[in-house]
């Protein structure tokens, strides 16, 4: 049955912190009407004015960064350090997109008999369907460039985390964004999400979430040839070659899959280690896992908070019975959705934990023989989002970077997401790219105009 309201829990305490009315199909219909009107004026406004308003939006977010961060801690259980970074990331995304408004250039192409130009037209109304794992930044990844390119945005946050999105929409109005241009529709995926996907007035859907739901959205959108960008799941490798700085690789490994309690599509959950250094690497990794501080997200020393919900906790538990061998860290007892940092060892390559996205603080370690075997293992997945390569050999680093089929690779680092650089997946990790210098283009349609000089 359709819910009329959403209950928002603090995942660290299980307390209800808010109830929010759930958007219905009729709410989505009304929002599309308002967004369409707002978009027409917005697209017609001078680029400098649009850029100025977006910069002001960034400044208002900056002024409320601590408030937004605390809201993210409460509704998503993120550590305070992460949540502060996330609020700052929203500000930076808005500033970066604002810089693109006045540089959204078409091209002039040499042709015989006239002049040919391309124009990057806004698409119209964009539906953004966001997940709960990074509610603020992922909403902003799409929203900032979509607005900058002259579109309106209807943002549907995940059921469990609507609060930061709602607050951002209020701050947008405070900054002078026109009414109706950015509207937030908290609601259930199959209700409000489906209504956005099906609505003929919505030109594009940007979906971030599970591969299962993403496939359904792509199939549904096909009926209207609706544009989609999909950011889906991952099972990313962390490849440690024998010639790597093993101490540095082991020290960096825990947070490569424990950040945000492993609820990160880029989490390096398959640790692939060359057999000749396998034992030594585990010796270095064991204390690093055991020392991770798991607990109150508001405590500045905390490195890992709870999982988002009881359902997510049950899902992770179903993958990792206590009987599986491995390294386990600590987690609090009592209320809250806690699971300890876990590295599983001695499992076969095709164990469910080694191939499926667990979306919790769980990684597997698998040995490999040589470079070819490492690439084979790394690519033995339908996903292709991220990956890390640890080696001191620059030739090997480059060969492996070319051979691993994934959208975002890092060498001697676990970095994946920077707003300056393109982000997205190969294979079943998604379709299209977000962020980076071309972020605005994804929210435009290229129009070609030929002007005859012979008439």
Q: Pick the stretch among 11-19, 66-74, 119-127, 185-193 that binds ligand NAD (CB under 6 A).
A: 185-193
Q: Which is nearer to ligand NAD, 297 or 427 (CB)?
A: 427
Contacts of 196 (CB under 8 A, 6+ apart): 28, 127, 129, 154, 156, 185, 202, 205
Q: Which is nearer to ligand NAD, 194 or 444 (CB)?
A: 194
Using rule CB under 6 A, residue 32 touches ligand NAD: no
Using rule CB under 6 A, residue 209 touches ligand NAD: yes
> Locate tokens 């305070």: which residue?
80
**Residue 436 CB, nearest approach to ligand NAD (Å):** 14
Residue from the set 27, 231, 259, 296 that interacts with ligand NAD by CB under 6 A: 231
Using rule CB under 6 A, residue 189 touches ligand NAD: yes
Catalytic residues: 231, 265
**Stretch (H or E) spanning 8:** strand 5-9
Pairing of strands 342-344, 362-368: parallel
- CB atoms < 10 A from the CB of 310, how many? 12
**Residue 71 CB, nearest approach to ligand NAD (Å):** 17
Q: Pick the stretch among 63-71, 109-117, 212-220, 397-405 that binds ligand NAD (CB under 6 A).
A: 212-220
> Locate tokens 């607990």: which residue?
295
Contacts of 105 (CB under 8 A, 6+ apart): 120
29-57 burial, b at 16+ Cβ within 10 Å, e below that, comes to eebbebbeebbeebeeeeeeebbbbbbbb
Residues 146 to 165 in contact with ligand NAD, rule: CB under 6 A: 156, 158-159
Q: Nearest 5°: phi and psi at 295?
A: 165, -150
Residues 68 to 97 in contact with ligand NAD, rule: CB under 6 A: none
**Residue 138 CB, nearest approach to ligand NAD (Å):** 6
Q: Which is nearer to ligand NAD, 77 or 367 (CB)?
A: 77
Q: Nearest 5°: phi and psi at 149?
A: -85, 5
Using rule CB under 6 A, residue 208 touches ligand NAD: yes
Using rule CB under 6 A, residue 190 touches ligand NAD: yes
> Locate tokens 């359902």: which residue?
311
Using rule CB under 6 A, residue 135 touches ligand NAD: no
Q: Nearest 5°: phi and psi at 421?
A: -120, 150
Q: Pick the stretch among 98-106, 210-218, 298-306, 446-454 that binds ligand NAD (CB under 6 A).
A: 210-218
What does the alpha-carbon distance between residue 201 and residue 181 come to, in Å, rounded to a whole number? 14
Contact 249, 401 (CB under 8 A): no
Q: Pick the stretch among 13-21, 227-235, 332-340, 437-445 that binds ligand NAD (CB under 6 A).
A: 227-235
Q: Which is nearer to ligand NAD, 137 or 367 (CB)?
A: 137
What does the alpha-carbon distance between residue 268 and residue 388 come to, in Å, rounded to a whole number? 8
Q: Pick the stretch among 75-83, 103-111, 120-128, 424-432 that binds ligand NAD (CB under 6 A).
A: 424-432
Using rule CB under 6 A, residue 193 touches ligand NAD: yes
Residue from the set 163, 232, 285, 289 that interacts with ligand NAD by CB under 6 A: 232
Using rule CB under 6 A, residue 357 touches ligand NAD: yes
Tell me the two tokens of residue 235.
């099972």
- Cα dihedral across residues 58, 61, 65, 71: positive or negative: negative
Q: Pick the stretch among 40-48, 208-216, 296-304, 374-382 that binds ligand NAD (CB under 6 A).
A: 208-216
Residue from the set 172, 197, 250, 374 that interacts with ligand NAD by CB under 6 A: 197
Tell me the sheet residues that pair with 229: 206
CA-based angle 385:388:392, to the nearest 5?
155
Using rule CB under 6 A, residue 233 touches ligand NAD: yes
**Residue 81 CB, nearest approach to ligand NAD (Å):** 19
Tell me the two tokens of residue 370.
């040589």
Residue from the set 13, 210, 401, 441 that interacts with ligand NAD by CB under 6 A: 210
Q: Which is nearer to ligand NAD, 22 or 273 (CB)?
A: 22
CA-based angle 17:162:207, to the nearest 5?
150
**Residue 365 CB, nearest approach to ligand NAD (Å):** 21
Using rule CB under 6 A, residue 313 touches ligand NAD: no
Contact 91, 85 (CB under 8 A): no
Contacts of 406 (CB under 8 A, 6+ apart): 236, 378, 383, 384, 385, 386, 387, 425, 426, 429
Residue from the set 77, 100, 124, 131 that interacts with ligand NAD by CB under 6 A: 131
Using rule CB under 6 A, residue 213 touches ligand NAD: yes
- Residues that bind ligand NAD in the complex, under the rule CB under 6 A: 129-133, 138, 156, 158-159, 189-190, 193-194, 197, 208-210, 213, 216-217, 231-234, 265, 357, 359, 385, 425, 429-430
């Amino acid at each position: 049955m359709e819910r009329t309201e959403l209950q928002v829990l603090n995942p660290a305490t299980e307390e209800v912190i808010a109830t929010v009315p759930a958007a219905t199909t009729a709410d989505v219909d009304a929002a599309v009407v308002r967004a369409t009107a707002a978009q027409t004026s917005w697209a017609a406004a001078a680029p400098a004015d649009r850029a100025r308003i977006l910069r002001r939006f960034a400044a208002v977010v900056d002024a409320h960064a601590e408030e937004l961060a605390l809201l993210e801690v409460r509704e998503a259980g993120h550590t305070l350090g992460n949540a502060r970074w996330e609020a700052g990331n929203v500000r930076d995304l808005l500033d970066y997109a604002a810089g693109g408004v006045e540089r959204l250039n078409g091209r002039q192409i040499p042709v015989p008999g006239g002049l040919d130009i391309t124009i990057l037209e806004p698409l119209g109304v964009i539906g953004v369907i966001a997940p709960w794992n990074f509610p603020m930044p992922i909403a902003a990844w799409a929203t900032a460039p979509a607005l900058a390119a002259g579109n309106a945005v209807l943002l549907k946050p995940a059921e469990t985390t609507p609060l930061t999105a709602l607050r951002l929409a209020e701050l947008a109005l405070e900054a002078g964004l026109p009414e109706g241009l950015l509207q937030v529709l908290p609601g259930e995926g199959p209700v409000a999400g489906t209504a956005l996907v099906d609505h003929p007035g919505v030109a594009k859907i940007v979906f971030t979430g599970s591969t299962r739901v993403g496939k359904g959205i792509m199939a549904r959108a096909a009926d209207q040839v609706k544009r989609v960008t999909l950011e889906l799941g991952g099972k990313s490798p962390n490849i440690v070659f024998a010639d790597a700085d093993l101490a540095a690789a082991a020290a960096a490994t825990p947070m490569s899959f424990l950040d945000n309690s492993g609820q990160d599509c880029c989490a390096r959950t398959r640790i692939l280690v060359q057999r000749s250094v396998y034992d030594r690497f585990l010796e270095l990794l064991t204390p690093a896992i055991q020392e991770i501080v798991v607990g109150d997200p508001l405590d500045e020393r905390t490195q890992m908070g709870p999982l988002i919900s009881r359902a997510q906790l049950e899902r992770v538990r179903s993958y990792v019975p206590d009987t599986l061998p491995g390294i386990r860290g600590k987690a609090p007892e009592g209320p809250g959705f806690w699971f300890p940092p876990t590295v599983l060892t001695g499992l076969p390559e095709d164990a469910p934990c080694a191939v499926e996205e667990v979306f919790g603080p769980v990684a597997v370690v698998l040995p490999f023989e040589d470079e070819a075997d490492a690439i084979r293992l790394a690519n033995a997945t339908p996903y292709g989002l991220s990956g890390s390569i640890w080696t001191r050999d620059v030739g090997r680093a480059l060969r492996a970077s070319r051979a691993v089929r994934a959208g975002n690779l890092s060498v001697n680092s676990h970095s994946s997401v920077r707003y300056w650089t393109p982000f997205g997946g190969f294979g079943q990790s998604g379709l299209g790219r977000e962020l980076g210098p071309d972020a605005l283009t994804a929210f435009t349609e290229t129009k070609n105009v030929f002007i005859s000089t012979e008439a």
